[in-house]
Structure 1
């Protein structure tokens, strides 16, 4: 079956909504204008609207006219990134150092297109909850909505989400059962040594030497501790020490991130980080303190729900345009918290253009009807 002609006609509206949101980006938990736009449009279409969930989250509820049935959750993220847009598109960001460089403006527009379509096609059994989530980039918005009673107030038997991915050609969908995105753990390592004159290093415990030992030791975690058939990435991205060219500092701070595709690799990597810090402290006779700043799990799709996405995408696009067992990404996503609560699936929408987080990124509006059509076909198949 080809994409619904009516949905294709919605393409221009999705493009307009997306570009308006792109021009007015908002950071996590500050999506007041975006949430207001979403709520107004949902209300205009006679959809039950609930705002302020998990901060700035919005949920629209559509009940089918066919009677009782399952409840589905469809989720989109609304927040932008704290970075400067360097592209020259006419709809570029009007706010300094805030930019929709990941595609959340497109995700929001797609779910709005789904909402408008379903608002006039309610002959299904059950309920659809349209979940517009704040603060995905902080990996905190999803868990805040859950903490605010998302699934108690809006019960979902299954949940689904998508993300643009330029590793796939536009017009294709990628599905994968199991882990499709990595866990994310942020850490800080604080070293307290003894400062000294640069010409008298024997009187110091140099935190730079201690820190470089830690950084080098960390490289052994992936190469010697993680199963070669599993996946992990450990990156130290900040190393701060010293104030003068001729003074050995007394402190240093390292910060970085861990990405893993399994809970086992996640736990082992964090345990080895702690071990390395404790061992280095004993070796040098100083304080090396490990702080686990933030954690999110891998994004793990359930088998049955991923099969539903595959069937829906194949019906919309044809089997030749659906990539099964698509390669996972080592990026992270707080939809993972929702998937810990409910069975569901997160899938990739093929995308023309630059990769996410590039300063000249712009969402491929031509893909919006495809994303919306797959969501709608999931509803058709699951709710009749």
Structure 2
């Protein structure tokens, strides 16, 4: 969609009273591509030919989703997508024969206790309207059936929609894991690898984007979403520096219920490709309207 938008606007460059920067970011899925582009000077655009400054006024990104019908878009002001961090906890005990657990310090039950307690920590310690998610997706321990291992390892993901809650969850994970391990005479080494920050939309930019979208798609086709998505996006780095918005572009085919449609990362997901035309039109209109071009 962005390539087609670049081609469309480039063909009319002489009619556009300003400049448009197209950001083709690599490494969006976990590799901080946007951050590297910013560090390399993405926003340090050159002056115009007459020597005047040409600062970037706004930034917009579209992300197609299967949870919104094709022909619609949705977004919200404030937090729109979560932060994303990787959690790793290694519990160290003392291995031995499985027939004599009293001679060992078995890390596996302790790992299980930590997993359960992390879920309780989320429900009891984290504010309902400033939520977080801790999901353990991997538990690694042992090599055979008759040996208690020396260590057990827990891995998973942490999501939050505010930096305050993000920090609180990080601190709570360390306290829970280390405390439970110590209660069983073991050690827990907690590693949290910081990932993408919370994606925070600028409210005026959201209102502007939805107004532009409704003028293209029709009344009622551009909606304010009630809550953030707990997925993460490295466009968050851009929005930390300039105002703008991440907008979700509906791609669910006609006749498919968005509530039960296969999610984006599923091997069964299907998109209505006419949504791409909507995306090209919206990208182009956002650029032109931002530069003051009146569209009929």
> Aligned pair 1:381/2:281, yes or no?
no
1:304-383 maps to which residues of 2 (within 5 A)? 304-353=204-253, 354-383=262-291
- Give the whole-Å Cα distance in 2 for the aligned partners of 1:317 and 1:364: 15
> Aligned pair 1:192/2:92, yes or no?
yes
**Structure 2 counterpart SS, 1:351:** strand
8 Å CA contact retained: 1:139, 1:333: no
Listed as ranges, the gaps of 5+ residues in structure 1 are: 1-109
**Structure 2 counterpart SS, 1:156:** coil
Identify which of structures 1 and 2 has the higher relative contact order when contacts are C-alpha pairs closer than 8 Å and 6+ apart. Answer: 2
Deviation of 1:355 after TM superposition, in Å, equals 2.1
Deviation of 1:113 after TM superposition, in Å, equals 1.2
Between Structure 1 and Structure 2, the one with more helix by share is 1
- Give the whole-Å Cα distance in 1 for the aligned partners of 2:26 and 2:270: 20
Query: Residue in 1 aligned with 2:105?
Result: 205
> Aligned pair 1:148/2:148, yes or no?
no
- Give the whole-Å Cα distance in 2 for the aligned partners of 1:350 and 1:127: 28
- Give the whole-Å Cα distance in 1 for the aligned partners of 2:28 and 2:70: 24
> Aligned pair 1:215/2:140, yes or no?
no
The RMSD of aligned alpha carbons is 1.5
Listed as ranges, the gaps of 5+ residues in structure 2 are: 47-54, 254-261
Deviation of 1:306 after TM superposition, in Å, equals 0.9
Which residue of the other structure, out of 24, 27, 31, is the alignment partner of 1:132?
24
Deviation of 1:340 after TM superposition, in Å, equals 0.8
1:229-268 maps to which residues of 2 (within 5 A)? 229-268=129-168
Query: Residue in 1 aligned with 2:2?
Result: 111
- Give the whole-Å Cα distance in 2 for the aligned partners of 1:241 and 1:184: 25
**Structure 1 counterpart SS, 2:128:** coil
**Please, what TM-score do these two structures have when normalized by structure 2?**
0.89
8 Å CA contact retained: 2:66, 2:271: no
- Give the whole-Å Cα distance in 2 for the aligned partners of 1:295 and 1:347: 21
1:16-95 maps to which residues of 2 (within 5 A)? none
Tell me how many residue pairs correspond in the alignment. Answer: 275
**Please, what TM-score do these two structures have when normalized by structure 1?**
0.69
- Give the whole-Å Cα distance in 1 for the aligned partners of 2:226 and 2:40: 33
- Give the whole-Å Cα distance in 1 for the aligned partners of 2:177 and 2:227: 33
> Aligned pair 1:283/2:183, yes or no?
yes
